[in-house]
């Protein structure tokens, strides 16, 4: 029997490059991880307690619709629980959206330096991704609209965007939506919503509750619960219905549901994280932005630092790594080889990064 006959994935699957997560330090090292936009203040103590309590019930299937978590989200964000679906991280929901609304011959549009998960899930659904140029590392509404064709089914927009930290104002997002045909789904991925301080920003909840072709996707990963894998989404009843038909029947585990609900209700902790982030994001931006390094103004819990060239970025990455500070390279996965993405960490970590990079510039 020919042994080259074997199960084959669908066409295109093997052309997809797997997502590259931010590096961690060497096992057992005391490296500080600034490569995955995690919370520098841990998780809400109330979420930790809820997670522990879940350990008493590990033999029981969780309630399948994440009702308890959706109720907490409904209470805190003022949106009907029926219009919410929860997921095993927001990555779960993004995959489901692609599976539901994209197929062979379809196109999804995204900005060039948008989140690197979008091309993966688009191609996994058999569709093609259309990459659109940006202006100053920011999504450009006119260019996005110009890229729409009769085949377009989804527009992916991370707002604020990862890895650039840039954002579109509420008015710009509405202009984008107004320019799309009603059969095109606009996915607003507000993964960093809690960290935004810009007054003209909107998380997208109004559009997601009022329009028939907009969803807003959120996550608790950047708010201290990355390990628990909790995401959520708000959208039109018809989209919520479609997702509920195909999602895993128990897609959010019990510890995730309980910890997630406690974290959502702990608005004091959320405010503390936001205040810490704003303080040190402003500080590192001011300290590093100079003739030698450009810090792109960020609304997330990270900054993108641009160096004169890829060699300088590599030198900075290696030097930080040697000193136990692990940041995110964005050459291969994002096509920005002269940039590094640095998560906002503790005061000590931020002072460490700034000290090392300033010293490097003086000797370079
Ligand atoms: C981190 C991130 C997510 C969240 O992923 P999870 O699966 O919820 O951990 C989604 N979108 C963007 C743009 C992100 O940066």
262 and 280 fall within a common domain: no
Atom of ligand 1 nearest to the CA of 161: 13
Compute, in angstroms, the gap from residue 162 CA to the centroid of ligand 1: 9
Residue 12 covered by a domain: no
Nearest Cα residue to atom 3 of ligand 1:
191
Residue 177 domain-assigned (yes or no):
yes
Mutate to test the pocket of ligand 1, among 90, 232, 251 (most ligand atoms within 8 A of CB): 90
Burial of residue 225 (CB within 10 Å: 0-12, 13-18, 19+) is buried
Write out the two tokens for 185.
Answer: 């789904």
How many residues would you count in the chain?
Answer: 364
Q: What is the number of domains present in the chain? A: 2
Token pair 């970025």 is found at: 313
In a domain, 15, yes or no: no
**105-148 pLDDT tens trace:** 999 999 999 999 999 999 999 999 999 999 999 999 999 999 99
Q: CA 16, CA 12: separation in Å to the nearest integer?
A: 7
* Spatial CA neighbour of 85 closest among 101, 100, 69, 98: 69
| Domain end call among 266, 299, 320 | 266
Give the closest residue (by CA) to ligand 1 atom 11: 191
Q: Against a cut of 0.75, is the pTM above it? A: yes
Do residues 104 and 231 share a domain? Answer: yes
Domain match, 240 and 357 both: no
CA-based R_g, the chain, Å = 21
What letter would DSSP give residue 236? -
Domain carrying residue 356: 22-43+268-363
Query: pLDDT band at 217, cuts 50/70/90?
Result: very high
Of 266, 286, 301, the residue at which a domain comes to its end is 266
**Can you tell me the mean pLDDT for 58-70?**
97
Same domain, 193 and 233: yes
> Are residues 352 and 210 both part of a single domain?
no
The per-residue pLDDT for range 307-355, each reduced to its tens digit, is 999 999 999 999 999 999 999 999 988 999 999 999 999 999 999 999 9
Whether 10 is covered by a domain: the verdict is: no
Site to substitute for ligand 1 among 110, 162, 341, most atoms within 8 A of C-beta: 162
Q: How far is ligand 1, taken at its centre, from the CA of residue 191, in Å?
A: 6
Task: Quote the pLDDT of residue 1.
Answer: 57
Asked whether residue 9 is assigned to any structural domain, the reply reads no
CATH of the domain at 330: 3.90.1150.10
| Token digits of residue 204 | 């997208």
Q: Is 331 exposed, middle or buried (0-12, 13-18, 19+ CB in 10 A)?
A: middle
Residue 70 pLDDT grade (very low, low, confident, very high; cuts 50, 70, 90): very high
Taking the C-alpha atoms of residue 89 and residue 69, their distance in angstroms, rounded to an integer, is 13
165 Cα–ligand 1 center, Å:
13
Quote the tokens at residue 106: 């379809």
For all residues of the chain together, what is the average pLDDT? 96
DSSP string for residues in 56-67: GGTTSPPPTT-H
The verdict on 165 and 225 lying in the same domain is yes
Mean pLDDT, residues 9-24: 87
Distance CA 256, CA 134 (A): 36
Enter the DSSP assignment of 124: H
CATH code: domain of residue 242: 3.40.640.10
With respect to residue 145, please indicate whether it lies within any of the assigned structural domains.
Answer: yes
Pick from 243, 266, 289: which residue ends a domain? 266
261 and 279 share one domain = no
Are 180 and 275 in the same domain?
Answer: no
> Is the model's pLDDT at 73 over the cut of 70?
yes
Same domain, 345 and 358: yes
Question: Do 247 and 357 have their domain in common?
Answer: no
What was the pLDDT predicted at 165? 98
Please give all residues whose beta carbon lies within 6 A of any atom in ligand 1, as ranges: 89-91, 115, 158, 162, 189, 191, 219, 221-222, 226, 231
Whether residue 257 is found in the same domain as residue 344: no
Q: Where are the alpha helices (DSSP H) in 159-297?
A: 170-178, 205-210, 237-246, 254-265, 267-288
**Bond from prior residue into 160 cis (ω within 30 degrees of 0):** yes
Sign, CA dihedral 268-271-276-277, equals positive
Q: How far apart are CA 352 and CA 346, in angstroms?
A: 10
Q: What confidence score (pLDDT) does residue 186 get?
A: 98
Within-domain flag for 122: yes
Q: How far is the CA of 362 from the centre of ligand 1 (A)?
A: 36
| Residue 117, pLDDT score | 97
Residue 234 token pair? 């708000």
Residue to probe by mutation, ligand 1, list 21, 35, 43, 91, most atoms within 8 Å of CB: 91
Residue 272 lies in a domain: yes
> How far apart are alpha carbons 351 and 30 in whole angstroms?
17
Residues 205 and 304 in one domain: no
pLDDT: is 65 or 363 the higher one?
65
């Amino acid at each position: 029997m020919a042994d080259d006959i074997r199960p084959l994935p669908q066409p295109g699957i093997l052309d997809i490059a797997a997502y590259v997560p931010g590096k961690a330090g060497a096992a057992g090292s005391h490296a500080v991880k600034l490569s995955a936009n995690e919370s520098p203040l841990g998780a809400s103590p109330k979420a930790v307690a809820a997670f522990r309590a879940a350990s008493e019930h590990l033999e029981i299937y969780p309630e399948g619709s994440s009702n308890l978590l959706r109720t907490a989200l409904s209470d805190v964000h003022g949106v009907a629980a029926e219009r919410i679906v929860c997921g095993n991280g927001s990555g779960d929901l993004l995959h489901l959206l692609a599976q539901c609304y994209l197929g062979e011959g379809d196109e999804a549009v995204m900005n060039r330096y948008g989140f690197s998960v979008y091309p993966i899930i688009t191609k996994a659904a058999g569709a093609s991704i259309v990459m659109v140029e940006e202006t100053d590392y920011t999504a450009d509404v006119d260019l996005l609209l110009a890229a729409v064709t009769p085949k377009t089914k989804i527009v992916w927009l991370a707002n604020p965007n990862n890895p650039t930290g840039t954002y579109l104002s509420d008015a710009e997002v509405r202009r984008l939506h107004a320019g799309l045909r009603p059969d095109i789904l606009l996915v607003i991925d507000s993964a960093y919503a809690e960290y935004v301080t810009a007054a003209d920003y909107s998380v997208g909840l109004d559009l997601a509750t009022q329009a028939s072709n907009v969803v807003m996707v959120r996550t608790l990963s950047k708010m201290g619960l990355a390990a628990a894998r909790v995401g959520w989404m708000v959208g039109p009843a018809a989209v919520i219905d479609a997702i509920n038909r195909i999602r895993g029947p128990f897609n959010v585990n019990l510890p995730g549901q309980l910890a997630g609900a406690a974290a959502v209700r702990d608005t004091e902790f959320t405010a503390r994280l936001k205040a810490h982030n704003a303080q040190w994001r402003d500080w590192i931006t001011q300290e590093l932005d100079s003739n030698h390094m450009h810090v792109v103004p960020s609304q997330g819990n990270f900054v993108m630092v641009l160096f004169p060239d890829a060699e300088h970025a590599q030198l900075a990455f290696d030097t930080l790594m040697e000193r136990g500070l692990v940041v995110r390279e964005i050459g291969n996965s994002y096509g920005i080889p002269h940039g590094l993405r640095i998560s906002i960490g503790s005061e000590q970590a931020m002072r460490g990064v700034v000290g090392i990079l300033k010293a490097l510039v003086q000797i370079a």
